Amino acid sequence: MTGYCVFCEIAAHREPADILYETDDVMVFRNRLRWVPIMLLAIPKKHMTQAELWGDMGAVGEAAVKVAREQCPGGFRFVSNSGYDGMQSQDHAHVHILGGIFLGEYA
């Protein structure tokens, strides 16, 4: 990896985050964006691409489901943007956990 990665910095505890769940390999924290009442991010601590993450969700998937069930008992949605056309804003692999309100239909 080259350059600055805010998610790598959060994973290393060099940038602040409201961390809800953490293991040696995974972290779930509150997103600074607030489009819906509950907006979390599940990340692998190791820097990887979205494609690498989705090739083997493993511990990140397990953590996302665990925290989503705790934080969004009425239901939740996972979102993962990939590439420019998908409006991915961070190179570090991540999954959005959205909930806390009826999310409606989507395109």
| Terminal Cα distance for the chain, rounded | 34
- Return the biggest CA–CA distance within the chain: 40
Our answer to whether residue 47 is catalytic in this structure is no
Record the pTM.
Answer: 0.90
- Token pair, residue 26, equals 């995974």
Whether the predicted pLDDT of 18 surpasses 90 = yes
**Catalytic pick among 13, 47, 92, 94:** 94
Domains, the chain, ranges and CATH?
A: 6-99 (3.30.428.10)
Q: What is the pLDDT of residues 62-102, one digit of tens each?
A: 999 999 999 999 999 999 988 899 899 899 999 999 999 99
Residues linked to residue 98 through DSSP beta bridges, in sequence order: 39, 77
